[in-house]
Structure 1
């Protein structure tokens, strides 16, 4: 695994979301990554019981915000080579992709997740 440097542009997986960001600090087990774009929106629901609806709390999971910093385990960070997408456009694209996937699944978990995602979409993109 290639060691990253401060300032490197990377992709990182945090919980179930995937982001493009910039390494701002190097820690023993993690890179501190400042979010610049969203590749994959986080899944809704309980992280410990994925795709289950019969859970104590069905969490609404927001994407990390523009410039938000998060610790990403080193093994979940890869170099990014490409043009940096606009944060809002990337978030919108990730939400649309997740909505399409959920609509195709047609399960109780997918329906509940879609409901949560529609609420988030109104918060992300108020008219």
Structure 2
């Protein structure tokens, strides 16, 4: 492992369009990616087609779920930062991230934002059933 990151260390990491708090599990052989176990959600992933941002006129408007609690994912080292603070409970962090994203989208008040809110509300029902 690099000097900056060690197994068991708590980090923040960007994965696709979401941001998470997690625990470093291991580093790949090339030293470029780390396996991170998700502990909390900071930012919920953006909804829609990432190749046509902020557009609803796309063949498929993607529903993007947050990574689940304890899910392990590979994150490039350049997208990791050490985290030093209290780790929120996963469910509460997910709820807060959803509420924050919906608040930001309501301020935009356009077709993409409205479709994103609709998608997030569907996800929210599934997350908290």
TM, length-normalised to structure 1: 0.95
In structure 2, distance between residues paired with 1:80 and 1:3: 12
User: In structure 1, the residue corresponding to 2:51 is in which secondary structure?
Assistant: coil
In structure 1, distance between residues paired with 2:75 and 2:53: 20
User: In structure 2, the residue corresponding to 1:5 is in which secondary structure?
Assistant: coil
Q: Which runs of 5+ in 1 are unaligned?
A: none
Residue number in structure 2 paired with 1:108: 111
- Stretches of 4+ aligned residues off by more than 4 angstroms: none
1:17 paired with 2:22, answer no
User: How do 1:1-127 and structure 2 match up within 5 A?
Assistant: 3-27=4-28, 28-126=31-129
TM, length-normalised to structure 2: 0.94
In structure 2, distance between residues paired with 1:61 and 1:67: 18
| Offset at residue 4 of structure 1 (A) | 0.8
Cα RMSD (Å): 1.2
How many residue pairs align between the two structures?
A: 126
Q: Which runs of 5+ in 2 are unaligned?
A: none
1:65-97 per-residue CA deviation (whole Å, 9 max, x = no partner) reads 000001111100000010111000000000000
